[in-house]
Amino acid sequence: MSNEAISEARRQIEICNACRYCEGYCAVFPALTRQAAFADGDITQLANLCHNCRGCYYACQYTEPHEFALNLPKILAEVRQESWQDNAWPQGVARRFHRSGVAIAIVVIICFALLFATARWIGSAGGEGFYAILSHNMMVAIFVPAFLVPLLSIWISLRRFWKSIGGQPLGPKAGIAALSDAARMKNLSGGHGEGCNFEDEDRFTRQRSISHQLTMWGFLLCFAATASGTILHYVFAMPAPYELVSLPKILGISGGLMLSLGTAKLAWLKPKGDKSLGDPRVWGGEMAFILLLFTVSTSGLALYGAGATAWMPTLLALHLGSVLSFFLLMPYSKMAHGFYRLAALIRDAQIK
């Protein structure tokens, strides 16, 4: 990690610790007031607690043109992004993705979609619906490794991060407290409970918090839909396709709608924020993550809507290509942000 970024973050945090005007804004400020000196790991943990809502910047009396020139959201964003890249495995892929994420995501989706499209001519096992294009066994053979290998990468990355921030053995109390804060997006509500002013320094809204909630819960519902379909297939010998009034369909459609809406809203909000208060070097990688999730959800919904038409093979190839791209790029995208923030919240609960 850049020594300059850590040193600058330490300088600004020490000034904030002396001032304490923003103590009630989010989890960062109560955490930094609990200590007087900050090791590199402490700085990294604080950076991953930050949601980059910018409320502290707009309230601060020490921003430029003051000689202290504080810009805490920006420097914490730089430290946070570098922590994801430095701990990623393999490391080089993360750096490339954060620099050119949108281009990489588009190319990978197209390439995988074209590969899946060839399955129509290669032939399948003669199943029903989607499985007439690509057999269930072939889907399992492709997607199980594509899911497990990225999870292994994230696990290695998180172990490195946990060690760097001085994490202790996990206890149920700290874990439950962290999960509760993460599920409620507590630190996106602002110190006053009216949301953050990410888009406009003079107006507090909950739009960003709602967008994150829709994205997170939509993703979890889609995952639950896949898990329920797997259980029905292997435990109850009930293979797809499923009826509209079935658990996989209810979870998948509701999750897909929430995920599409949440990611579209995040893409709309992102350009409204001041780039100088974040890390502009990784803007492409952040937008690529939104693009991947949006493509997965909308292509899945379109596939369901057009499942009985001639468009089905094309939409299936696009959907499977986007899902495979999301899985393989997951450890290097902003998906890591969720895991790291949860780890930072757990560590914060351990210190309290």
Three-state secondary structure of the chain: CCHHHHHHHHHHHHHHHHHCCCCCCCCHHHHHCCCCCCCHHHHHHHHHHCCCCCHHHHHCCCCCCCCCCCCHHHHHHHHHHHHHHHHCCCHHHHHHHHHHHHHHHHHHHHHHHHHHHCHHHHCCCCCCHHHHCCCHHHHHHHHHHHHHHHHHHHHHHHHHHHHHCCCCCCCHHHHHHHHHHHHHCHHHCCCCCCCECCCCCCCCECHHHHHHHHHHHHHHHHHHHHHHHHHHHHCCCCCCCCCCCCHHHHHHHHHHHHHHHHHHHHHHHHHHCCHHHCCHHHHHHHHHHHHHHHHHHHHHHHHHHCCCCCCHHHHHHHHHHHHHHHHHHHHHCCHHHHHHHHHHHHHHHHHC
pLDDT in tens, 303-333: 888 877 888 888 888 999 999 999 999 999 8
Highest mean pLDDT, choosing among 173-177, 226-230, 273-277: 226-230
Percent of the chain with pLDDT over 70: 93
Total structural domains in the chain?
2
Note whether 189 and 331 are same-domain residues. yes
- pLDDT given at position 5: 94
Residue 227: band (very low, low, confident or very high) from pLDDT cuts 50, 70, 90: very high
Note whether 202 and 296 are same-domain residues. yes
- Cα dihedral 70, 72, 73, 78, rounded to 10, equals 110
- pLDDT given at position 300: 93
- pLDDT given at position 120: 63
Query: Which of the two residues, 198 and 290, has the higher pLDDT score?
Result: 290
Note whether 63 and 110 are same-domain residues. no
Note whether 292 and 275 are same-domain residues. yes
- pLDDT given at position 165: 94
Note whether 95 and 130 are same-domain residues. yes
Bond preceding residue 241 cis, omega within 30 of 0: yes
Note whether 202 and 140 are same-domain residues. yes
Percent of the chain with pLDDT over 90: 49
Averaged pLDDT for residues 24-46: 89
Note whether 53 and 98 are same-domain residues. no
Q: What is the mean pLDDT of the chain?
A: 87
Note whether 75 and 168 are same-domain residues. no
Q: Quick one: tokens of 33? A: 């007031």
- pLDDT given at position 108: 92
Domain of 129, CATH number, reads 1.20.950
pLDDT in tens, 121-172: 655 555 566 666 777 777 888 899 999 999 999 999 999 999 999 998 888 8
Note whether 133 and 273 are same-domain residues. yes
Domain boundary among 83, 109, 140: 83
Amino acid at 292: L
Query: Which of the two residues, 222 and 233, has the higher pLDDT score?
Result: 222
Query: Where do we find the tokens 């995952």?
Result: 223
- pLDDT given at position 142: 87
Note whether 144 and 285 are same-domain residues. yes
Query: Which of the two residues, 190 and 142, has the higher pLDDT score?
Result: 142
Q: Does 3 have pLDDT greater than 90?
A: no
Domain boundary among 51, 83, 115: 83
Torsions phi, psi for 334 (to 5 deg): -70, 0
Note whether 42 and 110 are same-domain residues. no
Q: Does 119 have pLDDT greater than 70?
A: no
d(CA 214, CA 217): 5
Domain interval for residue 132: 90-351
Note whether 146 and 280 are same-domain residues. yes
Query: Which of the two residues, 140 and 78, has the higher pLDDT score?
Result: 78
Amino acid at 321: G
CA within 13 Å, CB half, 311: 12
Averaged pLDDT for residues 65-90: 93
Domain boundary among 83, 100, 125: 83
Q: Does 200 have pLDDT greater than 80?
A: no
